[in-house]
Amino acid sequence: MSTTLIQNGTIVSATGRSTGDVLIDGESIAAILAPGQSAGMGIVADRTIDATGKYVVPGGIDAHTHMELPFGGTFASDSFESGTTAAAWGGVTTIVDFAVQRTGEAVQDGLAGWHEKAAGNCAIDYAFHQIIGGVDEDSLKAMTYLVDNEGVTSFKLFMAYPGVFYSDDGQILRAMQNAGESGAMIMMHAENGIAIDVLVAQALARGETDPMFHSLTRPAELEAEATHRAIELSKVAGNVPLYIVHMSASEALEEVAAAQHAGLNVFGETCPQYLYLTLEDQLMQPGFEGAKWVCSTPLRTKHAHHQSDLWKGLRLNELAIVSTDHCPFCMKDQKELGLGNFSAIPNGIGGVEHRMELIYQGVVTGEIGLERWVETCSTTPARMFGLDTKGQIAPGFDADVLIWDPNGTTKIGIDDKHHMNMDHSAYEGFEVDGKVDTVISRGRVIVENDTFSGEAGWGKYVKRGLSQYLH
């Protein structure tokens, strides 16, 4: 077991910052020491890292990724190997991906399929949520089994995508009741898919085929309506914990905030794309260019106050977590499937590499504090989803550490920093006032000096416990 001592850095947690040294023994954090204490104790580590002038923070946890996801006749372009390697480049040390059960399939088969994709291929640690695309007696039993035996304690339902993942209100209620019995978390894609399909068909009939109509046929009102309905169903099911994924709209956030003020177990997530990208600046680019930014929920207009409200939601904890919904597709042969028909464009943006960078820029611009950056990108995801040894720089926790250089700069783009398996960057040309310096996964340095030194297969599957917010 080798030891590493990170000296002279500013340790940042969700609750504050301090100057100190971090002693790593093997794969765990052994001690937090006062400056100079290690010398006085005669500690000689196998390796010493000087973090003077840098932040020492828990490695990022991206609680919403889709590696190799089948969608719209193709697959997300990042494999578990390429996607987790890109994540490591971005200071992320754990992902929680989504195993898939579609209507008519067995839940356990879906989970087994995801284990097969990921095993031996991940550069960082990984865990799974389970998508339930067909709620019936068998899948309800499987949900309980997964919580009790497989370390899968959260289940995603869809109010969108009829015929693929969609669940009606009765199915949602039954799944929520089941989750209430087992202590699991229900994650919800909250958009009114039945109404959206009508709007999409009408737009196509009018010849409105460009990428911008993806957003215009998924209006904010239908995100808010579905969010409200999901909250009411969770209330009827007994205040069952509900986590609304990839929130993009002010109106939907208001529903979540109101539920929280009423004492309900409702949590919200947003993603960098909703904090930085817009309908006008991205989706409405000429020709088919806007297809790069087709994702669901969609990018919203900059002429409302969606972005400022989402940042405010992060400050006030109405939004608990920033994830990426990383679901990358190349333009060539993938996004191009929707040429002449926006509804056939595979939905997804690649971002797993850039979340820590982009949200740190919100610290620089004064949108959130440094501690809140750590909290929303690492500590809360660990607590929310039962990653009990992750998300904190503290003795006994996994030695997943990001050393961040606030004096560095990062330029994002295909010819700059870009390691995801995509032929474009959703954040081309963005510049961040800060830089990933060193990344440590379970005690092993996997990124340093702008070099990746990790390997596929280092990452382990993590069985998750229940949400720490609920027991």
Q: Residues 369-393: pLDDT tens digits?
A: 999 999 999 999 999 999 999 999 9
Q: Residues 20-37: pLDDT tens digits?
A: 999 999 999 999 999 989
Q: Residues 85-100: pLDDT tens digits?
A: 999 999 999 999 999 9
Angle, vertex CA 444, rays to CA 34 and CA 15, nearest 5 = 40
CB burial of residue 137 (10 Å; 0-12, 13-18, 19+): exposed
Whether residue 471 is predicted with pLDDT greater than 70 in this model: the reply is no
| Type of residue at 272 | P
Per residue, the 3-state secondary structure of the chain, as one string, reads CCEEEEEEEEEEECCEEEEEEEEEECCEEEEEECCCHHHHCCCCCCEEEECCCCEEEECEEEEEECCCCEECCEECCCCHHHHHHHHHHCCEEEEEEEEEECCCCCHHHHHHHHHHHHCCCCCCEEEEEEEECCCCHHHHHHHHHHHHHHCCCEEEEECCCCCCCECCHHHHHHHHHHHHHHCCEEEEECCCHHHHHHHHHHHHHCCCCCCHHHHHCCCHHHHHHHHHHHHHHHHHCCCCCEEECCCCCHHHHHHHHHHHHCCCCEEEEECHHHHHCCHHHHHCCCCCHHHHHCCCCCCCCCCCCHHHHHHHHHHHCCCCEECCCECCCCCCCCHHHHCCCHHHCCCCECCCCCHHHHHHHHHHCCCCCHHHHHHHHHHHHHHHCCCCCCCCCCCCCECCEEEEECCCCEEECCCCECCCCCCCCCCCCCEECCEEEEEEECCEEEEECCEECCCCCCCCECCCCCCCCCC
CA distances from 267 to 64, 79, 145, 230, 384 (A): 14, 29, 24, 12, 9
For residue 367, give the nearest of 307, 435, 412, 411 by alpha carbon.
307
Specify which residues 57 forms β-bridges with: 402
What's the confidence (pLDDT) of residue 32? Answer: 97
Domain-wise residue ranges, the chain: 59-384
pLDDT band at 130; cut points 50, 70, 90: very high
What's the confidence (pLDDT) of residue 457? Answer: 97
Q: What's the chain's average pLDDT?
A: 97
pLDDT band at 442; cut points 50, 70, 90: very high
What's the confidence (pLDDT) of residue 38? Answer: 86
Q: Residues 183-234: pLDDT tens digits?
A: 999 999 999 999 999 999 999 999 999 999 999 999 999 999 999 999 999 9
Measured CA to CA, the distance from residue 111 to residue 141 in angstroms comes to 14
* Class of CATH domain 59-384: alpha beta
Identify whether the C-beta of residue 405 lies closer than 8 Å to the C-beta of residue 54.
yes
What's the confidence (pLDDT) of residue 40? Answer: 84
pLDDT band at 263; cut points 50, 70, 90: very high
Measured CA to CA, the distance from residue 124 to residue 197 in angstroms comes to 38
pLDDT band at 41; cut points 50, 70, 90: confident
For residue 84, give the nearest of 96, 74, 71 by alpha carbon.
96
For residue 9, give the nearest of 409, 29, 18 by alpha carbon.
18
pLDDT band at 262; cut points 50, 70, 90: very high
What's the confidence (pLDDT) of residue 6? Answer: 97
Measured CA to CA, the distance from residue 140 to residue 147 in angstroms comes to 11
